[in-house]
Amino acid sequence: MIDFNFFFPLWTPLSTKVNFASKSTNLPTLRLRLVPVCQVSWRIKPGWLGQKSEKTMLYFHRCQHLKQITQKCFSSIHVKTNEHVQLILSRKFALTELKKSWLSTHTLVGDKNIILMGPPGAGKTTVGRIIGQKLGCCVIDVDDDILEKTWNMSVSQKLQDVGNEQFLEEEGKAVLNFSASGSVISLTGSNPMHDASMWHLKKNGIIVYLDVPLMDIINRLKSMKINRIVGQNFGTPMKDLLTFRRQYYKKWYDTRVFCESGASPEEVADKVLNAVKRYQDVDSETFISTRHIWTKDCKQKNSTKFFSEAVIEGLASDGGLFVPEKEFPKLSSGEWKGLVGATYVERAQILLERCIHPADIPAARLGEMIETAYGKNFACSKIAPVRHLSGNQFILELFHGPTGSFKDLSLQLMPHLFAHCIPPNCNYMVLVATSGDTGSAVLNGFSHLNNNDKKRIAVVTFFPETGVSDFQKAQIIGSQKENGWAVAVKSDFDFCQTAVKRIFKDSDFTGFLLIEYGTILSSANSINWARLLPQVIYHASAYLDLVSQGFISFGSPVDVCIPTGNFGNILAAVYSKMMGIPIRKFICASNQNHVLTDFIKTGHYDLRERKLVQTFSPAIDILQSSNLERHLYFMANKDGQLMTKLFNQLEDQHHFQIEKILVEKLQQDFVADWCSEEDCLAAINSTYNTSGYILDPHTAVAKVVADRIQDRTCPVIVSSTAHYSKFAPAIMQALKIKEINHTSSSQLYLLSSYNALPPPHGALLERTKQQEKMECQVCKADVNVLKSHVERFIQNQFR
């Protein structure tokens, strides 16, 4: 017997049970979205459906992805529900409708409070009054309406009388004795420094952080003649104190309003209302498969996914890729200008908060993940700095992460997003295909999860045995940890990628893994939305850095030139443009595997009689570009039927042709060319001789193409996707170093002695010092063999 338990913690502590009495009909399909966290558990009793092991506990966490698998596994099971169950479920959906009616006729948040938080001078009181007037509800100012009435004296006098520490304690006690509902509450600047009172307020409120530019705050405080605030000791600059305070604001907020410099209170109030509306509308941001075909009787609710579901599933069940159903969020010019002086972490927090609904990952938790991902793991404090190379060319250095490639910018963050989204008691096996850099980056990223998460999340990466550089191979094998393994495949990357996709689409195999081992498969390749999304940040950040350094003013266009194989990196640049970064042209740079260049020029994607060529730039030795499908879907006005036709044709006939109108649309934004091996080495040599900068082979491919086709009327940002140390033999050949010692460590140390730019990569040098000779399993190019490896790893990890 299988028991289902549905929990609705924020509405009512009810639970329901659904008993499977016989085997005749399908599982019921319920889409539950009443609360941000909705858990469902079932227990499969020993011996049932062939189970021989102890009971498996599976938990749903705000997602329905398990439903699709279990419907196939339990398709013959009869569902028996009693009237009580039906009544409760009907009541739940009735409550949802009631909630909608209540919100539309009363206030935006019903009995919830809108709580405005921010530093002194943020405008909380003024903005709160405007919002109260718009909503017709009570407005409470903590300073005036609670503290001064409680103390019978002014707040400034109280602070002077009792000092900082005692003031915070008495302020907190006053707030703890206060309660309200359906009101707008303007906090003091110091309220967030008292935990108990903030928990008290948070129980019945939505906390909105008014994130005002620091200099605006300082200027306002001067004009208000405020020269001391809580926590400020003699000699402490106001700027330092306000910066210190930000840690408390980031701890408590539910949603942030990023205020433009000089924004009026009315504009900020409107932003607050929009932010609260978005926070409340938990169904507003969904994802759809690029191959979904809409029909007249198709119900949208059954075909869309939430962010957390898209992250967990990785690949859509129809073989398509998940994309946002609506437009990408767009920042205003003023908001972008507000980020010019921000750090990479601050930029990432603002951008990702706009792209990830707080019902999927709360803003404060997302901020913690971002700080963890981009903290100590990167050798450069700027994370992804931009360096002026020469003329109008700039290098975006994406190799300062622990494995020395641009994949680290995603894969230091993606595992934390993934671990948050999955059900707490499910086992997940993440399958990855790599052309070189992804393998070590994903193994490293998932190894940084906490111990509990590492027990339930494991990784297997498949790489072409002879299709990566010797250093990349050693790095992948050396990155294996207790929850991550590497398998060398006697084939190329395209086979590895196709094999992984076929494994995902094999419902018999995935269902078997679920029933037998309680394990679900997912992906960390760029087919997974959580892997692609963080890449948007560094393209936006690069542009902002050019503005910050005075090379351009905001609004001036730039071109980007990106070495491209799987189309993910260049697609992330497209998304940054959708968010408001003024990119003029996307320059696609290919090596001798130039199927993408040919497609951009002709509209014909043709793999017939085209063989993969191994080059000095193995990360783009790719013929089947997965992420191209996402861009074509956008260009074709979200025509899922066309995507299904094109990519089925590519799989069956190894080519497809898009219509002329789509070719013209593609060429409005994209230009492309390819680079020979000789030109690649020559570019490495000439760049070093003229500027003292060593390009890795992928970056050299991009520079050759940028030199050839960029018109020099605006800056071009060339993405440097890997540190040159990973490709020492090619670099030494390019620099005509005759006496080449064939050990990786000696090659790297020799190159580091040149005192070139960029500096040697410390983590890569440390890798060469590893004395332990690690090995990995090798298998033939057979999907069934890969599946057997997957099952074996699952047995070892989760049994």
Catalytic site positions: 407
Q: For the CA atoms of 96, 102, 103, 106, what is the dihedral angle to 10 degrees?
A: -170
| Cα–Cα dist 616/151, whole Å | 74
Nearest 10 degrees: Cα torsion 250, 253, 258, 261: -70
CA distances from 736 to 393, 446, 553, 682 (A): 25, 39, 41, 10
Q: Classify 557 in phi/psi space as left (phi over 0), alpha (psi -120 to 50) or beta.
A: beta
What does the alpha-carbon distance between residue 577 and residue 569 come to, in Å, rounded to a whole number?
A: 13
Taking the C-alpha atoms of residue 340 and residue 342, their distance in angstroms, rounded to an integer, is: 6
From residue 66, give the alpha-carbon distance in Å to each of 85, 268, 537. 21, 41, 31
Sign of CA dihedral 382, 383, 387, 392: negative
Q: Using CA atoms, how far apart are residues 576 and 541, in angstroms rounded to an integer?
A: 10
Task: Give, in order, the Cα–Cα distances in Å from 266 to each of 84, 128, 329.
Answer: 49, 10, 22
Alpha-helix runs per DSSP H in 357-479: 363-373, 408-411, 414-421, 437-447, 451-456, 470-478
Alpha-helical (H) ranges within 55-121 are 65-73, 83-105
Which residues touch 471 (CB under 8 Å, ≥6 apart)?
725, 726, 727, 728, 744, 764
Cβ atoms of residues 258 and 87 within 8 Å: no
The continuous run of DSSP H or E covering 590 comes out as strand 583-590
Within 10 Å of residue 547's Cβ, how many Cβ atoms?
Answer: 18
Q: What is the end-to-end Cα distance of the chain in Å, rounded?
A: 22
Distance CA 339, CA 546 (A): 12
Q: Are 294 and 156 in contact (CB under 8 A)?
A: no
Fill in the DSSP letter of residue 308. H
Residue type, 63: C
Cis peptide leading into residue 13 (ω within 30°): no
Q: Under a CB-based contact definition with an 8 Å cutoff, are residues 414 and 524 in contact?
A: yes
Rounded CA gap, 373 and 365, in Å? 12
C-alpha distance from residue 659 to each of 100, 294, 451, 665, 672 (Å): 44, 21, 51, 10, 19
Cβ–Cβ < 8 Å for 206, 109: yes
Say how far apart CA 403 and CA 722 lie, in whole Å.
9
Q: Measure the CA–CA gap between 71 and 63, rounded to whole angstroms.
A: 15
Going from the C-alpha of 670 to that of each of 112, 397, 596, 606, 662, the distances in angstroms are: 48, 22, 11, 18, 12
Give the whole-angstrom CA distance, residue 265 versus residue 271: 10
Q: Residue 427 pairs with which residues in a beta bridge?
A: 519
Burial class (CB in 10 A: 0-12, 13-18, 19+), 457: buried
CB 622 within 8 A of CB 563: no
Kindly report the backbone phi and psi dihedral angles of residue 257, in degrees, each rounded to the nearest multiple of 5, phi listed first. -110, 110
Specify whether the CB–CB gap between 349 and 366 falls below 8 A.
yes
